[in-house]
Structures are given as structure tokens and as C-alpha cells.
Copies of this chain bind each other. A is one copy, B any other.
Amino acid sequence: MYRTHHCGELNASHINQTVTLCGWVQKTRNKGFVIWVDLRDRYGITQLIFDAERSEKTLMESAKNLGREFVLQITGTVIERASKNPNIPTGDIEILVDSLTILNEAKTPPFTIEDDTDGGEELRMKYRYLDIRRNPVKNNLIFRHKVTQEVRNYLSSINFIEVETPYLIKSTPEGARDFVVPSRMNEGQFYALPQSPQTFKQLLMVGGMDQYFQIVKCFRDEDLRADRQPEFTQIDCEMSFVEQDDILNTFEGLTRHLLKTINGVEVGTFPRMSYDEAMKTYGNDKPDIRFGMAFGELNEVAQHKDFKVFNTAELVVGIAVPGGNSMSRKDIDKLIDWVRRPQIGAMGMVYVRCNEDGSYKSSVDKFYDQTDLAKWAELTKAKSGDLICVLSGKTKAVRAQLSALRMELAERLGLRNPKEFAPLWVTDFPLLEWDEETQRYHAMHHPFTAPKPDHIELLNSDPSAVRANAYDLVLNGNEIGGGSIRIYDKKMQALMFDHLGFTPEEAKAQFGFLMNAFEYGAPPHGGIAFGLDRLVAILGGQETIRDFIAFPKNNSGRDVMIDAPSPIDSMQLNELNLKLK
């Protein structure tokens, strides 16, 4: 036994006890006649004291030469501190050290091991093992562990079974790009790493497992956008003999359980909103509803005057910024510049000041009178003191622009409180979306998603109008989970592959095993998958997933700590029957 206690547990009740502790030197203060050392381990910090009167000379000498991050084992007596530190659990005591063993020395770390470090992102990633010593990173990893434990215990308690599905599976061209793994034993053939266990969980339903989950790594070889990882973790779930409502209720239960046990927050019934409604009201299929600023569509009350910009627009739509009338002309001009940035892409912005006296002052007073503006205020739910911001243009584009503006303003107004949680379900997603590049429809969710039964006829006449029993769980403006009711009928699945442009032969080659399985008695089923990295980050009050992953990769998919990927030797390539081009 290297130690009798951790560095976070000693307090006044231990005074006079002899203890042995291990840990890292957080800092030393040398006053000549007395030396204090803060000793740190995962559990906390305990102050050590060496003093000229009570400690042996050789011990004092050793203590003087301790560097930051040296690894120590010390034995000593717990004594009361002269000057207490009420900010830490061990702040009432310190250890008068009798013996000191340096278990390992340390070079000066390349950045400070403190909550606010001086290390930049790249340096911290290269020395991630030192970064993990810092409380914020360490606590994020512990937090992640707690979340997964709660997920597992909750789902297990309601009869879900965690089943491990394989990682070496089959490549399919549908969806994102696969990572592939050459097979040595099967020459010229490749496994693929799963983008998700989708087909396996459906096969488990055909196999009668009834309620399945798995916390599982998934892989996508995509060009990495910011905050995407080539490997990421899903909470993957599937249930048999369920309708959409059963799934929403079950996983609303899980989410409510997490918010309660992890965050101590009680949340009521989650709002449910159709995709169409979310797009209309927030311009976004993952609206942040911690705050208002719902869209008011103004076509009817803005296209009857001579303002050409509005009259030629497909959509005129505004939001009321709470208290926005306090903005100066200069502030508003800056806001207009902001929406005109290429990343947002609006042509301009019309605004209306809602004065305290009930009058309105707009940037388009030339065209609109007080009665017009009052109607705008009504439709955007503006109150006096607010500022109405109005954009116009093509429906899809203008909704995206106004949604971005809404989020930006909420951020500036401090309305995106990370301690507040506003979940909602967005349902009835489109089944298909048109892909300009390939000039064909793609499955919006995936090819196994069931269309709404009364929309099946529309598949031929108006594919983009077909809605699916597909749903997303949205939390604070982030999609944290998504799923659907699946097709469980072979004919329907074949019809769907047909609409997605698969020949029957292609469908058979790629998904034959699933379609075969459907011939042997598939139950109605559906499921959901949560992005664990993002879920944990949001529950942790943050938005950067990288901070909740122990060893993340950078935007080029590299692990800069271990320097992977890297060349392999030619013998390995030979064995795999491969050649670099």
C-alpha cells in the first residue's frame, strides 16, 4: 500500500493521525524557515509543511529541491493549519511531514497544470496526459463516466439489454464514407468500421431482443468540420412493437432522468413540434427554445406597399429582440453588417424600434405607417422597448439567416444560459431530400426509415412532401438524438431502395441480409441514437465536444500525441496484398 488516504479526504477529524499520501507537487512556497507544498491527486489537494524547527535538516533540503509535478510519497502527522483555507475540503489541516520519497522526478511541464492554463490547444493536445491532470479536463472525463453510468442503469432498469455489435463489418456506399480495414485472411477484401450499428440493431429486433441499447464507438471518414471527430460515441437504442410515441416517451424518460440526477434539474413534459413548424417558427430544425424571439411571418402585412424588396421576396419574416430598442443606431448598423457577412448572406435588414410610448420608428418609414408596423409588432410579439428585425428573400435562405441572427442576439443578450435546459422533440421530418450533386433523392435519416403510412402514395407524385416517422431530440439548440420508426416489410424496403436509386441487385448486394431477415418475421420496430459526446458536453454546460473526449483527434483526423496515423512497414502492406499508389 503506497498510501493510507487520498489528497482530498483529510480534515479536522484526522488531526494527530499519522498518514501516508501520494501525489504530484502542485506548487511549493519556500519562506526559508518553512516550506509549504501543495500535493495533488485526482481527489484533491493537501498542504504539506516542512519547517526548520520541527523537521530534520535533510528533509528540509529535500523539500527545497522539489519541482513542479514531482511525484511524491510522504508520511506525516495531520495538524491544524494556522491559516485555514475555507475553499477546499482539506483547508483546515496540513501534514507535518516525517518522511519524503520522490517516486519520480518531472521535467517542467510545457504549460501550467492549472484551471486556467497558459497552454494553447495544440500544445495541450500533444501533451494530453498533462492536460488531463488539469481539473477542468479531469472533471469532464469523470462527468462523462457518470452520465454513461446513469444511462446504463436507467435503461437496464426498464429492461433494455446492452448488446455488443461487431466493429469489423461490411462497407456500404450509402451515407457517409466508411473507414475500411483490409483483410489479410480474405485477399482483396475489406471490412468497414461501422458508421452506426443500424442494421445490427434491426437484426436484433428481428431476433426478438425486444429492447436493445449500446454505448458504442462509430466511425465516419468525413472531411472534418470544426468539432467533429472521425470516431465518436453513440448511445444506440432500438425497441420492438412500438409506435413513435412509445419511443419519445421512453427516451424523454431517460433524458429527464439525466437532467435530474446529473444536473439536479426537474424538467416537465417536453414540447413536441413538427419539422415544418420548427422551420416556420425558428428557421431551424433544432431550435433553442430557452428563449423566445419566435419568427413572425409578415408577407400579408408587408407586401401591400411599394417596398420592392419585400414585394419580390418569397418570405418576409421578423423577430422581436427583447429590449432591443436600447441599441444605438451604430449598434444596429453593426448588426446589419453582421447579417450581410458572407457566412450569413442576407442582403440587408429592416428594423423597427418599438418605442416606450407605443409608437414605432422603422428603417422603412417611407413605405410603412404606424398601423402597418403595429401589425408587424403583433405578429412578432414585440413589446414596447423591443427592436423588430426583418429579413426577406427565398424562404429556405431567409429562415437560415434569421435563425442565425436569432442565435447571435440571444448569445449577446445572455439568453443562452448553460445551466438552463430546454429540451424538445422535433417530429415528422421529411423522408427524402434532394441532392443537387447526384441529382437524386437521398434518405434524410437513413434508408430504413418508414414513411408515414398515409404519405406512401406521395412517394411517386411528390417525394419531397413525404413525411417520415422520424424525430430528433433537441436540447438547447443542439440535436442530441435522432431516430425513426423503421420499415419492417420487405416490399416496402424494396420500394424505398428503388426510390433512392438502388437497382434491386445493388440493394441485394448491400442489404440483402436485412431484406432476407425481413422474410422471417420482423416485428414493427423503431429506435433512436444519441450523440454521447455532444450530450455530455451540453449537460456539462459546454458546447465543445473535444473537451469531453480523453484523446481527441485534430481537424486533420490526427492524434498529435501518439502521431497517428503513420506509415506502416512494407511487410505489413505485403501481407495485406496492398500497394501504395
Contacts and interface: CB of A to CB of B under 8 A. Distances in A.
A243 interface: yes
Contacts of A558: 186
A104 B42 contact: no
A446 B191 CA distance: 28
Contacts of A211: 42
A439 interface: no
Interface string A32-53: 0000000011110000000000
Interface string A396-419: 000000000000000000000000
A559 B130 CA distance: 41
A141 B129 contact: no
Contacts of A268: none
Contact of A109 (B170, B189, B520, B572): B520
Interface string A455-470: 0000000000000000
A577 B180 CA distance: 13
Contact of A210 (B42, B145, B565, B567): B42
A219 B184 CA distance: 13
A564 B168 contact: yes
A164 B217 contact: yes
Interface in A513-530: 513, 517-524
Contacts of A70: 521
Contacts of A107: 519-520
A557 B208 contact: no
A581 interface: yes
A193 interface: yes
B170 A193 contact: no
Given A41-B208, A241-B3, A520-B107, A578 B581 contact: yes
A179 to B, nearest CB: 5
Nearest to A180: B568
Contacts of A189: 565-567
A272 interface: no
B170 A580 contact: no
A488 B22 CA distance: 15
B208 A133 contact: yes
Interface stretch (A57-65, A155-163, A471-479): A155-163
Contacts of A105: 521
A46 to B, nearest CB: 14
A132 to B, nearest CB: 3
B180 A161 contact: no
Contacts of A572: 171, 173, 177-178, 180
A488 B557 contact: no
A182 B166 CA distance: 19
Contact of A184 (B132, B162, B221): B221
B165 A559 contact: no
Interface string A99-127: 00001111101000000000000000001
A203 to B, nearest CB: 4
A104 B210 contact: no
A71 interface: yes
A50 to B, nearest CB: 20
Question: How many identical chains are in the complex?
Answer: 2
Interface stretch (A279-287, A339-347, A380-388, A545-553): A545-553
B186 A106 contact: no
Interface string A73-104: 10000000000000000000000000000011
Most chain B beta carbons < 10 A, residue from A22, A106, A183, A188: A183
A522 B193 CA distance: 34
A224 B569 CA distance: 23
B24 A168 contact: no
A154 B47 CA distance: 32
A565 B141 contact: no
A128 B207 contact: yes
A149 interface: yes
A195 to B, nearest CB: 13
B109 A559 contact: no
Given A3-B241, A181-B193, A578-B578, A208 B564 contact: no
Most chain B beta carbons < 10 A, residue from A128, A564, A577: A564
A69 interface: yes
Contacts of A575: 177
A443 B523 CA distance: 51
B22 A566 contact: no
Nearest to A519: B107
A103 B521 CA distance: 8
Contacts of A42: 208-211
Nearest to A70: B521
14 contacts: A24-B208, A41-B210, A104-B524, A128-B207, A145-B156, A148-B162, A167-B217, A168-B557, A168-B565, A178-B572, A182-B182, A184-B221, A185-B556, A513-B561
